[in-house]
Chain A
Amino acid sequence: MAGVGFALERMTKGRSLSSTAGAYVYAALLVAGPWIFTVLGIGGVGVVACAAADCAGLQVFRTIIIYNSLTTAILTGPLAFVCTRFVSDRIWMKRYDSITFAFVAAFAIFAAVALLTCAPFYLFLTDLSAAEVAAVLQNLVLMGAAWLLIPFIGATRGYLAISIAFAVGIAVTLVLLVLAPGESPGRLLSAFNAGLCIIDFALAWQLTREYGLALVPDRELLRTAITYWELPAIGGTFVLGLWIDKLIMWFAAPVGVSVVAQGLRTMPNYDTPMFWAQLAAIPIFAVFFVHVETNFFRLSRNFYGSLTREVSRGRLVEMKVRMSNFVFAKISGLFLSLAVIALIAILISFIAIEPLGLRASQMSILRAGLAAMVFHTAAVFCFIFMLYFDLKRCALTISATFLLLNGTLTAALMPLGFAFFGYGTLAASVATLVVAIGVLGRELPWLDFHAFVTNNTSLRAGPRRRPGTTRAS
């Protein structure tokens, strides 16, 4: 996001407090626009469509959206990581002709896997009607298309377009529900799907405007996935790590599990506070992309750019040390900021418990979730730095560590009862941050080695002649 970050950074240097605050809100919308607008949309649907507190259709609708979000995230995560790399490489090479094809290929894979796995689930393991299942599957495919389109548009820094598309799409959903009120899951899903159609259409229009409509098959897409096998693994483990504790709770918690449509299990007592806790990280993500990433981009551009400017080793080491110091200083600063945000959130939660839809019994989960957010988000920043340095295996180590520990510790602490819910994720987050700092500390002194050897594609260029002996005749 560095290109957008520079503009945002300039905005934050405004003279008035309001202009600075406005810049950060704007940055937050760019950073997490789809997420924010989706949350607002789901909340808005509840307000617009269901006046009564026990609106059964709304609960089914929300559960379906959660399930579809989970499925979409897990399936699109690996694809999005591969596509992002492919698109970046194509843009760098100024070869745009196969980018639209890459999206279509990724979407086809997603749609095929999603429909093959989810259609039987919704048809045979829930009591949803055929029409409702059709709407659910439509929602799944539309949501997947939107999540897959985001990295393609993001590659050309079209973050504003993404956020506007989501804002308009969600607005359309709400308007439709106002014009044609109803609270059945089918009605709510149809309105939501109409909004998603707008979002998908807007993003697809942006995609084809950038890269054209022609579908030019390119084997390089597959080669990217194979060569950089770590990328889909990173995408998969990262997303699954975020959801694994919820999945374990839904299917193994002894108390508090909610079942709708006969087969859709969730645990609002756990999901809601954890969700709010994760949402609290958004302001710091905005700070990261506005200030940290832009300054880091300058330093890394100096470092990597100097390699083509005949720089000496001494000068390169100076730049490396400067960049390493910057990374550690910013991780520390961000960690402190996250801690302050978490503390404020905990204090606010005492008075905002009702607006947040929480009960007193959920406060310990919220606190654990906020503490976990501090450590996990700091680990995610380390993870992002790893990806900036193209240290894919290190990034995979971090995402896999969190997945493994979050799943293991959540399951391990579950028998201790409701009071310990969320502490598995907290412990996993702490341990993951420790691992992430350790990996960063180990790798940053080797950045020049990685630039010259590990990530030097020239050393691993295409098919080459192989040595060997042949019979002459």
Chain B
Amino acid sequence: MTTADICLLVEGGYPYLLGGVSSWVDSFIRSLPHRSFHVVAFSVSTQPRRRRFELPDNVAHLTDVILDDCPPGVPPRRRAAGQIDALIDEMRRLLLAGAGPAWVDFVRELDRCGLAQRALLDSRAAWSAFERVYDATVPGAPLVDFFWTWRFLASSMLAVASVPIPPARIYHAISTGYPGLLGARAKALTGNPFLITEHGIYTNERRIELSVADWIYESPAAGFDVTGRTGELRGIWLDAFNSMARISYDCADLITTQFRMNQVYQLHDGADEAKLRIIPNGIELDRFAAIAPDREPRRPTVLLVGRLVPIKDIRTFIQAAALLRRRVPDVEALIIGPDDEDPAYAAECRHLVQQLELQETVRFLGRVPDVRAYFGRVDVLALTSISEAQPLAVLEAGAAGVPAVTTDVGSCREILEGPAEPGPDGAGGFVVDACDPGATADALARILLDPALRERMGEVMRARVHTVFDQRRIIARYDEVYESLSPVRADA
């Protein structure tokens, strides 16, 4: 196997699933044709394996790490109970309160002894150790739920700790979590540099997922509030993801993210401030800069680009449209995005439109071939999500000179108001609280009813996106990071 320049560690689907991060990864690799890549895709055994992306020419190899399918390893020796017990106890510590040095010791020990599933999950000694972990961690919790929790976490950790390290000069994880764990292991075993790029903060995303996960049993007293006290099994999952983040941060040479707020979370999760860098998302400006505003007479138009899923909070957008219609009676609200991911929620949204008698106002356009065709025909972009990182829709609309009203999530405030407080260049739109239809409607009305404001905000957005989010410039920054991290090539 040839040594790649970059080993890209990706959880979340590339090249098997479509999505924001997958698209970013594909575009990123294509933007660096002079570098060779080895992609490591993390997935679970039930995930479909049909490639949804054609791998770029500069991807030399693709390695699959199946998280719930760790290797059997060598059979345990007759008197290995003590060793198994010690390793499982170490796994427990790593999962609940892990740190970089402990992970490095653990992977070196596993590398030396060769133990994996047979010894550490399926043996009687492993069961006894598991019982001790249960008693020490969640005594009284449903055993079957803790079993599956432990089984998946331990098995996935062993899968990451056992997969052969792909030969590469730099290891680049596109999140903490499992890619971060493998990157940390690769760094420990090869000594080569390890870089993390986080789009969304892994621990935050997992926290949101876990708060709505109905497969984790909790007593009703534990509650389901994402901000409240977590139940004991949810707590274990969260501890595990926090540990993975801490291990990743400890071992990384450099940690990049797209905006300042993310760095606050990274610091909270244990990242060393000295390692943190901001590299925003980039977009291909040429594709959007040429979109000219359509001057034909039309209804005042608001556009929302997003999947019909709860995290986009389309219901708030629809309620805002109802309030907006009172002040802008002929307003039209367009929703572009697929509705097949959560059909129940999509149906709920359509029902709400009927209930509020908005059939003449709100239109669901579904998936469209090219969203650019709409940017010239709308007055303002709306984004009501309850969680985002750096939404491409806002950047793309901004590049075309469309102002936006967004919730205060991810980097939306930085995009609309600039990296510091709104300076002399002004704001490219309004930022409102999440789940607040009234504030959203007010902000949209201000832009729709004031053509001068709309014009000025559009220009601010266009200028800011061109200055800060130019993909060529962003890619050059990653290239510089790679160059700065690159070990001296033996063949150089």
Contacts and interface: CB of A to CB of B under 8 A. Distances in A.
Contacts of B141: 312
B142 A311 contact: yes
Contact of A465 (B1, B49, B122, B144): B49
Interface string A279-322: 00000000000000000000000000001101111101000000
B144 A308 contact: yes
B264 interface: no
Interface stretch (A167-175, A404-412, A445-453): A445-453
A452 B159 contact: no
Contacts of B164: 469
A471 B127 contact: no
Contacts of A453: 121-122, 127
A52 interface: no
Interface in B162-210: 163-164, 166
Nearest to A461: B45
Contacts of A465: 43, 45, 47, 49, 64, 66, 69
A312 B142 contact: yes
Interface string B309-346: 00000000000000000000000000000000000000
A468 B40 CA distance: 10
B143 A311 contact: yes
Contacts of B166: 469
Interface in B46-73: 47, 49, 55, 57, 59-66, 69, 71
Contacts of B143: 307, 311-313, 316, 448
A359 interface: no
A188 to B, nearest CB: 57
Interface string A447-469: 01100110000010000111111
Interface string B6-30: 0000000000000000000000000
Given A467-B64, A469-B166, A313 B122 contact: no
B139 interface: yes
Given A311-B143, A464-B45, A469 B63 contact: yes
Contact of B124 (A312, A449, A464): A449
A467 B66 contact: yes
A139 B108 CA distance: 68
Contacts, number: 81
A472 interface: yes
Contacts of B71: 467
A312 B45 contact: no
Contacts of B65: 467
Nearest to B67: A467
A470 interface: yes
Given A313-B131, A472-B59, A473-B55, A467 B142 contact: no
A314 B65 CA distance: 36
A466 B141 CA distance: 33
Given A313-B131, A453-B122, A464 B62 contact: no
Contacts of A312: 139-143
Most B CB contacts (10 A, CB to CB) among A311, A448, A465, A466 go to A465
A308 to B, nearest CB: 7
B284 interface: no
B55 A449 contact: no
B49 A467 contact: no
Contacts of B265: none
B147 interface: yes
Given A308-B144, A310-B145, A464-B45, A469 B127 contact: no
A446 B62 contact: no
Nearest to B146: A313
A280 to B, nearest CB: 39
Contacts of B139: 312-314
Nearest to A446: B124
B134 A471 contact: no
B69 A313 contact: no
B134 A467 contact: no
B76 to A, nearest CB: 13
A412 B446 CA distance: 103
Contacts of B357: none
A310 B142 contact: yes
B12 to A, nearest CB: 16
A470 B61 contact: yes
20 contacts: A310-B144, A310-B217, A311-B142, A311-B144, A312-B141, A313-B134, A313-B135, A453-B127, A464-B45, A465-B64, A467-B65, A467-B69, A467-B71, A469-B1, A469-B62, A470-B62, A472-B39, A472-B61, A472-B62, A473-B57
By Cβ-Cβ distance, the 5 closest A-B pairs, closest first, are A310-B142, A464-B45, A469-B63, A472-B59, A449-B127
Given A312-B139, A312-B140, A470-B62, 5 more contacts: A449-B124, A453-B121, A465-B47, A471-B61, A472-B62
Interface of B: 1, 39, 43, 45, 47, 49, 55, 57, 59-66, 69, 71, 121-122, 124, 127, 131, 134-135, 139-145, 147, 151, 159, 163-164, 166, 217
